[in-house]
């Protein structure tokens, strides 16, 4: 392909802008096979030909040891983190995520070189040593090699990431446990709950007064609670549930109809969450935490053993402090679930128990809101 050159005379100043002037001569990377398109004449021109110079200067053959998919994944990671290797180095050695956040550390950890990849990279570096014409590694391979040069990169980042997820897991378990304990305590000894249950028992006994077998019950099974909304008055104008709610507000709640009026039962949302919990899940989560805590302790010990004195701190101090505190938190949490059922004893599941209360509380709250509005309107 032959085209006419356009040259800008340096001695002539002009105010007219040109499309080509800001571009200059740009060296674009060209694939090796494209050289075949150069004319025979241009290939013989050698260094005097600008096009040939551009092609020869831009063609750099590199060694690719990773698969195309893997190389692309590492390349995307390199372009997305916008960090110097020294920033990553400092973050890992100093256990500092102010510059390199935990999400980036997680991505670096997941994309670190695998053993076979590292073996291939090190083998090439060793074989290319002291060779003038040695081909350089491609950028993804170079990046993985540089990561591997951070002392105990894998072990250190594992501990840093676990330190963060440990607190999140503990917080999640504690939050669930607090909901469960709060709901259980309210249902067991809450004065308002006992008043509501007392009304259900009293009205039930009154309605069944002529029945010798059910007329004077000392209590009732919980499965009747969700059915109260289906029991209608003789004129079908209201349900037994709405009547109980109205009676409770007028005779037991001094703040009925006011903003300060407090809902007497556990919140339906708390009851629903409690119904979804399983003690088996708590035990499984605790076992996993124990396993990961032990792994973190082992990795910390490995780093401290293999690291030079200059790279030992502040990692050792921070991880020792975390592990000692984490152990105490874990033991406290385990104690909360130490009660085990007797051998062969069958228990009512959390789902069965709290699902009944969830349905009843949801219905009760609907009527509670309506009756509060009616009381407010009559004032």
Whichever domain contains 270, its CATH number is 1.20.58.2220
| Res 6: pLDDT | 53
| 102-110 helix and 68-81 helix, angle to the nearest 10 degrees | 160
Q: Using CB atoms within 10 A of its CB, is residue 153 exposed (0-12), middle (13-18) or buried (19+)?
A: buried
Looking at the structure, tell me whether residues 141 and 88 fall in a common domain. Answer: yes
Residue 271: count of CB within 10 angstroms of its CB: 24
Looking at the structure, tell me whether residues 202 and 54 fall in a common domain. Answer: no
> Token pair for residue 236?
């079908």
Task: Give CA–CA dist 2/150, Å, rounded.
Answer: 52
Answer yes or no: is 360 within a domain.
yes
Task: Give CA–CA dist 200/312, Å, rounded.
Answer: 67
Query: How many structural domains comprise the chain?
Result: 3
Looking at the structure, tell me whether residues 82 and 197 fall in a common domain. Answer: no
Whether the pTM exceeds 0.75: the reply is no
Answer yes or no: is 227 within a domain.
yes
Contact status, residue 242 vs residue 232, Cβ threshold 8 Å: no
Q: Which residue pairs, CB below 8 angstroms and at least 24 apart, start in 348-353?
A: 349/278, 350/180, 350/274, 350/275, 350/277, 350/278, 350/279, 351/275, 351/276, 351/278, 353/222, 353/275
Q: Is 82 helix (H, G, I), strand (E, B) or coil?
A: coil
Q: Using CB atoms within 10 A of its CB, is residue 225 exposed (0-12), middle (13-18) or buried (19+)?
A: buried
Looking at the structure, tell me whether residues 16 and 113 fall in a common domain. Answer: no
Looking at the structure, tell me whether residues 211 and 358 fall in a common domain. Answer: yes
Looking at the structure, tell me whether residues 208 and 80 fall in a common domain. Answer: no
Task: Give CA–CA dist 209/195, Å, rounded.
Answer: 21
Looking at the structure, tell me whether residues 264 and 368 fall in a common domain. Answer: yes
| Res 320: pLDDT | 67
Answer yes or no: is 218 within a domain.
yes
**Count of residues in the chain:** 379
Contact status, residue 243 vs residue 368, Cβ threshold 8 Å: no
Task: Give CA–CA dist 184/266, Å, rounded.
Answer: 9
| Res 355: pLDDT | 86
Looking at the structure, tell me whether residues 265 and 364 fall in a common domain. Answer: yes
> Token pair for residue 167?
């607190």
| Res 267: pLDDT | 93
Domain end among 123, 150, 177 = 150
Looking at the structure, tell me whether residues 195 and 270 fall in a common domain. Answer: yes
Looking at the structure, tell me whether residues 374 and 248 fall in a common domain. Answer: yes
Residue 62: count of CB within 10 angstroms of its CB: 11
| Res 92: pLDDT | 87
Contact status, residue 74 vs residue 45, Cβ threshold 8 Å: no
Looking at the structure, tell me whether residues 56 and 72 fall in a common domain. Answer: no
> Token pair for residue 267?
């919140």
Domain that residue 13 falls in: 1-60
Contacts of residue 204, defined as CB under 8 A and 6 or more positions apart, other chains included, come to 214, 217, 220, 224
Q: Which residue pairs, CB below 8 angstroms and at least 24 apart, start in 199-202?
A: 199/244, 199/247, 199/248, 200/224, 200/225, 200/228, 200/244
> Token pair for residue 141?
């391979």
Contact status, residue 44 vs residue 30, Cβ threshold 8 Å: no
Looking at the structure, tell me whether residues 261 and 372 fall in a common domain. Answer: yes
Alpha helices in the chain (DSSP H): 40-45, 50-58, 68-81, 85-94, 102-110, 115-128, 139-148, 153-189, 191-207, 240-252, 268-275, 279-306, 309-312, 315-336, 350-378
Write out the chain's pLDDT in tens, 379 residues.
444 445 555 544 555 555 455 444 444 454 555 444 444 444 443 443 333 333 344 456 888 889 899 999 999 999 898 888 889 988 888 888 888 888 999 999 999 999 999 999 999 888 888 777 778 899 999 999 999 899 888 888 888 888 888 878 888 888 888 888 888 888 888 899 889 989 998 888 888 775 656 667 778 878 888 999 998 888 888 899 999 999 999 999 888 888 889 999 999 999 999 889 887 787 788 888 888 888 888 888 877 776 665 655 665 676 667 667 656 655 564 454 333 443 444 555 677 778 888 999 999 999 999 988 888 887 6
Residue 315: count of CB within 10 angstroms of its CB: 23
């Amino acid at each position: 392909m032959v085209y006419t050159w356009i040259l800008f005379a340096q001695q002539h100043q002009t105010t007219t802008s040109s499309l080509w002037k800001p571009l200059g001569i740009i060296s674009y990377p060209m694939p090796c096979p494209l050289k075949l398109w150069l004319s025979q004449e241009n290939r013989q021109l050698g260094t005097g030909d600008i096009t040939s110079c551009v092609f020869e200067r831009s063609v750099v053959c590199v060694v690719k040891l990773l698969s195309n998919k893997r190389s692309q994944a590492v390349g995307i990671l390199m372009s997305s983190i916008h960090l110097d290797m020294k920033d990553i180095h400092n973050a890992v050695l100093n256990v500092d995520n102010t510059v390199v956040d935990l999400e980036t550390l997680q991505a670096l950890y997941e994309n670190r070189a695998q053993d076979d990849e590292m073996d291939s990279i090190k083998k090439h570096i060793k074989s290319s040593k002291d060779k003038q014409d040695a081909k350089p590694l491609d950028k993804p391979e170079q990046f993985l090699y540089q990561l591997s040069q951070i002392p105990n990169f894998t072990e250190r980042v594992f501990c840093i990431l676990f330190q963060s997820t440990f607190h999140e897991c503990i917080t999640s378990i504690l939050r669930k446990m607090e909901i469960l304990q709060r709901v259980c305590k309210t249902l067991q000894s809450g004065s308002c709950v006992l008043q509501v249950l007392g009304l259900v028992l009293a009205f039930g006994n009154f309605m069944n007064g002529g029945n010798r077998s059910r007329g004077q019950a000392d209590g009732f099974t919980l499965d009747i609670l969700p059915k109260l909304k289906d029991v209608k008055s003789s004129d079908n104008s209201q349900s037994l549930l709405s009547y109980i709610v109205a009676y409770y507000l007028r005779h037991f709640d001094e703040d009925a109809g006011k903003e300060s009026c407090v809902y007497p039962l556990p919140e339906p949302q708390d009851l629903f969450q409690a119904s979804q919990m399983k003690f088996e899940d708590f035990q499984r989560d605790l076992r996993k935490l124990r396993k990961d805590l032990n792994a973190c302790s082992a990795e910390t010990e490995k780093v401290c053993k293999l690291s030079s004195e200059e790279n030992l701190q502040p990692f050792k101090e921070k991880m020792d402090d975390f592990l000692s505190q984490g152990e105490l938190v874990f033991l406290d949490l385990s104690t909360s679930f130490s009660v085990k059922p007797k051998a062969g004893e069958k228990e009512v599941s959390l789902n069965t128990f709290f699902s009944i209360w969830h349905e009843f509380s949801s219905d009760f709250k609907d009527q509670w809101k309506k009756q509060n509005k009616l009381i407010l309107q009559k004032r």
